Amino acid sequence: MRLDVNSASDSVKDPMDRYHREPTLAEVLSDPVTLAVMDADGIDRYDLAATLSQMAANMRPPGPVEKKKRLADSAIAKAVITDRKPDVAAELSESMTRGYNARMLRSNVRVISALVLLAFVVCHLTAHAFLLVSFARADAALDMLMSPWRTAIGTAILVSAVLAHYLNGLWSIYVRRYLRLSRWERWQLGLGLCIPLLLMLHVTSTRVAESLLGVSSHYSSVLIVQWLLSPWLAVLQATAVLTVWIHACIGVHFWLRTKPWYAHWRPLFVGLGMLLPTLALSGYVAAGNRVLRDAENPNYVKLSLEASNLTDQKRAEIGRIAGIGSAAYLALTLLPFAGRGVRGWLSRRRRPPLLTHSSGRTVTLLPGATVLETLRESGIPHASVCGGRARCTTCRILVTRGLDSLPKPSGLEARALARIGATPGMRLACQICPTADISVMPLLAADAGAADGTVRGGLEGSERLITVLFVDLRGSTTLGEAKLPYDLLYILNQFFSEMTKALDATNGHYAQFAGDGLMALYGLNAKDPATGVVDALRGAREMLARVDQLNSRLRGDLPQPMRIGIGIHFSEAIVGAMGPPGSQIITAIGETVNACARLESLTKKYDCAVIVSRRGAEMAGLDVKGRQLHQVPLKGRTQTLEFYALKTLADLRV
């Protein structure tokens, strides 16, 4: 609950506010930070209770007309409005409501069918693990776990999932214009294509034989065939289990690796992924050895096969059916490759469009090929953590020429771009299939990871309007001389904790640490440039109030009260993720940052708490009537920087 109108409006904008409990009036009137701000503003806390309802009615976010008027009131803002590019958020929202397109439908079918098949495999392997106990327990577990799948509905779901997953895989092979895949994609595709061949004989000898030949399958009869009559089948079965499980684990990992919670739970997934196949194969080997020992009794094999109604003639028929199934599978699998050949021959007879990369290379685009496929086939490195499924957004590009010839984002692409707040011209290389000449520029490094895909659009590195705030702790050298290292670190950590809370409360973004101070950015995600400056002024007020509170709390440990100096500037800067690989942060560089640091350093000379540049004051609508306008030359620049020196919390009111 805040007391100034701007704080109230911005708190409504913050989506995280809905997770916090609204403070009561008694809590507000007893909060030291709030009381400090109220006292600086001349607000009587007893009058507050009587006028609270009227203030709450006035705490409404400014509408679009009010924001526009605020910007238009200054000459600087008029230039900003003229130069601003159109926002694509409305286009993305409209595209997302158009319903499923083919790619989104395929993506959902692939995931759902894969989860159905994974559930079936988990049930099957769990039953195999009970072979470590006994055949009777394993048969009981198999009957219980497989009973849902043996019903008419369960069988229909399972068969539908198999066909959907397999046909979706064949279509993905055909629809790709190039088969230059990443290593994990090659493994997943290769293992997936091997699975039906490895399991063909097993499925034929169990479910198919039960339905067509009247054979009843039990662990004892199946293991007799695989370990005694045809030992090579035991090796084939173990290979099939490992192939299925590795294929599933690769799919699950690359499906979940873009989820923010997955890194925390990944050790659990790894543990379960190792445990289940280990127990299943251990049970399979233990049961096989038990069958070999029991086979020393000549009647054991005969009685077991008779109980399952499995004769030599039926075994031969099972082999014949499996052979026909394998041949049909191979023929069907070769169809997309044949189709690719015919399509390639036809496309070579026409002049294809060209793709120009920002590196200067120009390559040919095959009809229907995505930009990502073309770049991979041409040997141009490009990021794609999710393998081209529109999940990670690491393949994002800026279309510098030919954007008008592309269809608007829809389905999976629209959803992904909306999630990161895409800027105009940004598209996903894995989703667009140009039909005309196009020029693109990658927005992330080729070795970008899953975390880089969460960076919001425009923060990959672009020049934009931004509000920069520098805060510095005065007298830190003297404080260091008077305190032991441990005590000094404790005090500094308390200081930075309060400054961070002030940033969080006012929509600020911590951007850089500098010894006894820090740099923050405001307006990173704001559509209105003035919003960032208003938030920065609120942040300065919050910081000053929190420093007063900290001085009161640590007065017995401080040789003198802590003081801070704050500089605020609004202008163009290069904003993006910077730093060494794996440790990048969103920050800004450029003349604006240097100018803001200069303003902060001048707070000592002018003996004031905050210095705001003239441009920032105008954008925020700061009341500067009667205040002296100062000037300072900038190093290496001919023009001077104009600013206002503000000494109290009351001076920061907008």
pLDDT, tens digit (0-9, with 9 covering 90-100), for 102-139: 778 888 888 999 999 999 999 999 999 999 999 889 98
Query: In 3D, which of 320, 242, 244, 332 has the Cα closest to residue 284?
Result: 242
Domain ranges of the chain: 5-61, 89-96+352-454, 102-329, 462-652
Q: What is the DSSP letter of 435?
A: S
Mean pLDDT of 153-175: 91
* pLDDT of 14 higher than 90: no
Could you please state the CATH topology (level 3) that the domain comprising 89-96+352-454 is classified under: Ubiquitin-like (UB roll) (3.10.20)
What distance in Å separates the CA atoms of residue 441 and residue 460, rounded to the nearest whole number?
12
* pLDDT of 100 higher than 70: no
pLDDT confidence of residue 22: 47
pLDDT confidence of residue 267: 92
- Which of these ranges, 26-30, 145-149, 241-245, 610-614, has the smallest mean pLDDT? 26-30
Give the residue, 491 or 323, on which the prediction is more confident.
323
**pLDDT confidence bin for 180, thresholds 50/70/90:** confident
Mean pLDDT of 627-653: 84
Q: Are strands 640-646 and 508-514 parallel, antiparallel or unpaired?
A: unpaired
What distance in Å separates the CA atoms of residue 405 and residue 401, rounded to the nearest whole number?
9
pLDDT confidence of residue 221: 87
* pLDDT of 72 higher than 50: no
Tens of pLDDT, residue by residue over 237-283, are 999 999 999 999 999 998 888 888 888 999 999 999 999 999 999 99
* E strand or H helix that includes residue 17: none
- The alpha carbon dihedral of 61, 64, 70, 75 has a sign of positive
List Cβ<8 Å contacts ≥24 apart for 161-165: 161/112, 161/113, 161/114, 161/116, 161/117, 161/120, 162/113, 162/117, 164/109, 164/110, 164/112, 164/113, 165/110, 165/113, 165/114, 165/117
* pLDDT of 64 higher than 90: no
Give the residue, 539 or 85, on which the prediction is more confident.
539
Q: Percentage helix, strand, coil, to 5, in the chain?
A: 60, 15, 30
What distance in Å separates the CA atoms of residue 523 and residue 531, rounded to the nearest whole number?
6
Cut 0.75: pTM above it = no
pLDDT confidence of residue 18: 36
pLDDT confidence of residue 45: 53
* pLDDT of 377 higher than 90: no
Mean pLDDT of 519-533: 86
pLDDT confidence of residue 258: 81
pLDDT confidence of residue 613: 94
Question: Which CATH number applies to 462-652?
Answer: 3.30.70.1230
pLDDT confidence of residue 321: 93
Query: In 3D, which of 10, 57, 12, 42 has the Cα closest to residue 620?
Result: 10
Q: Are 619 and 573 in contact (CB under 8 A)?
A: no
**pLDDT confidence bin for 51, thresholds 50/70/90:** low
**pLDDT confidence bin for 214, thresholds 50/70/90:** confident
What distance in Å separates the CA atoms of residue 9 and residue 531, rounded to the nearest whole number?
10
**pLDDT confidence bin for 446, thresholds 50/70/90:** confident
What distance in Å separates the CA atoms of residue 215 and residue 529, rounded to the nearest whole number?
75
Mean pLDDT of 615-637: 86
Which runs of E-coded beta strand occur in 327-403?
354-357, 362-364, 396-401
pLDDT confidence of residue 519: 93
Give the residue, 130 or 477, on which the prediction is more confident.
130
**pLDDT confidence bin for 48, thresholds 50/70/90:** low
Q: Are 390 and 427 in contact (CB under 8 A)?
A: no
What distance in Å separates the CA atoms of residue 358 and residue 439, rounded to the nearest whole number?
7
* pLDDT of 9 higher than 70: no
CA distances from 188 to 240, 249, 456 (A): 14, 9, 30
Q: Are 288 and 132 in contact (CB under 8 A)?
A: no
Q: Are 457 and 426 in contact (CB under 8 A)?
A: yes
Mutual angle of helices 183-203 and 312-347, in 10-degree steps: 150
* pLDDT of 300 higher than 60: yes
Mean pLDDT of 346-353: 75
